[in-house]
Amino acid sequence: MTASMIDLERRRLLKLAAGLATLAALPVSGLAAGSSLRAATPYGLPQVILARALQHEGLTEWFGDQELRAWRDPDQLRAWVAGGEVQLTATPTNVAANLYNRGVEVGLLNVNVWGTLGVLAERGPLVGIEDLAGRHIGVPWRGDMPDLVLRYLLGRLGMEVGKDLRITYHASPFETVQMFLARRLDVVVLPEPMRSSTRLQAEGLGLAPLELDLQEEWARLTGEPAALPQAGVICRRELLEAHPEGVRALQAAVSEAVAWTLANPAEAGRLGAAHSPLSAEVVEAAVRRTRLEMRDAPAARPDLERFLGALAKLSPGFIGGGLPDAGFYLDLSS
């Protein structure tokens, strides 16, 4: 959606909601007490967490029924959020920053996914990033998080793409996976739950891929914790302004959902399978390989700024041009 289209949508929504002048952000329908809450999420653990959170009985007091949609790509999410079709979404942190920097009226509530990235290799050695030298690596989504994390770590070692190793990019992770299973790639870099799905498929073909955790490599090469603030929950600003107590209840429900997911990986797997094409086995495996921790936006800000700032040096457009200002981080304590 272009800036001009967003401006037109804003003017239309302001006209329709002129009676709600107390809202500082752009009003949309569906904010009255007891009305439905429209939420969205990508497939994977963010979906499991949000699906579990929306089951919390206390939310009906504020929002009545809840609708949970799955978005296919950031462009679809951007259209939904900018147009007011959804008020709450789980999203990668770079997508959240990008939306905010492009003028969409959203704020970050929390970060709850702190590491999903890993490397699968057909053969060893695979002890560190150095072992990727001379290999053909498959990476989905050029310029997105898996790519930038890999290239940042390679840069810490002075390794150059095209000189020390070869990367082939794919528009879809499914293509990356199929190339690896067909042994046309030596190595793949994947997020969860795609990493667990690929490992299980490989084992079914009689392969035994080796794994390297990129969060551990980040810690080794940067001296920072082995935790990458990759995904969280954002909401449209008028939702918070119309129902601050309801959003606080949502935040508490997400916190409980994170704890539940960690404590019940098998049940989380079944919940994930009920909301997506992923199998319960894959989702359960992804839970066991992902760092989950609930931090509200102000608490997550220092780590998030370090992480996004490092990757934005490779590609400023990754977050929409620069680090979000303080208005991005919603503080529910006030």
H/E segment holding residue 138: strand 136-140
Q: How far is residue 263 from each of residues 17, 34, 56, 268, measured CA to CA in Å?
A: 43, 31, 17, 9
Quick: pLDDT tens for 151-169.
999 999 999 999 999 999 9
DSSP string, 206-269: T---EEEEHHHHHHHHHSS-S----EEEEEEHHHHHH-HHHHHHHHHHHHHHHHHHHH-HHHHH
> What is the reported pLDDT for 92?
95
Q: What is the CATH number of the domain that holds 302?
A: 3.40.190.10
| Structural domains in the chain (count) | 2
Quick: pLDDT tens for 88-99.
999 999 999 999
**More confident position, 33 or 158:** 158
**Is the same domain home to 78 and 21?**
yes
Say if 333 falls within a structural domain. Answer: no
**Is the same domain home to 53 and 33?**
yes
> What is the reported pLDDT for 61?
85
pLDDT average, residue stretch 113-140: 97
pLDDT average, residue stretch 217-237: 97
Which domain range does residue 234 map to? Answer: 3-114+228-328
Quick: pLDDT tens for 297-316.
999 999 999 999 999 999 99
> What is the reported pLDDT for 119?
98
**Is the same domain home to 311 and 262?**
yes
72-86, 137-151, 260-274: least confidently modelled range: 72-86
> What is the reported pLDDT for 35?
64
Using the 3D structure, point to which of 193, 222, 251 is the last residue of a domain.
222
**Is the same domain home to 132 and 106?**
no
Assign 7 a pLDDT band (cuts: 50, 70, 90).
very low
292-296 sheet: strands from edge to edge: 66-70, 37-41, 88-92, 231-236, 106-113, 292-296
Quick: pLDDT tens for 43-86.
999 999 999 999 998 888 888 888 999 998 888 998 999 888 99
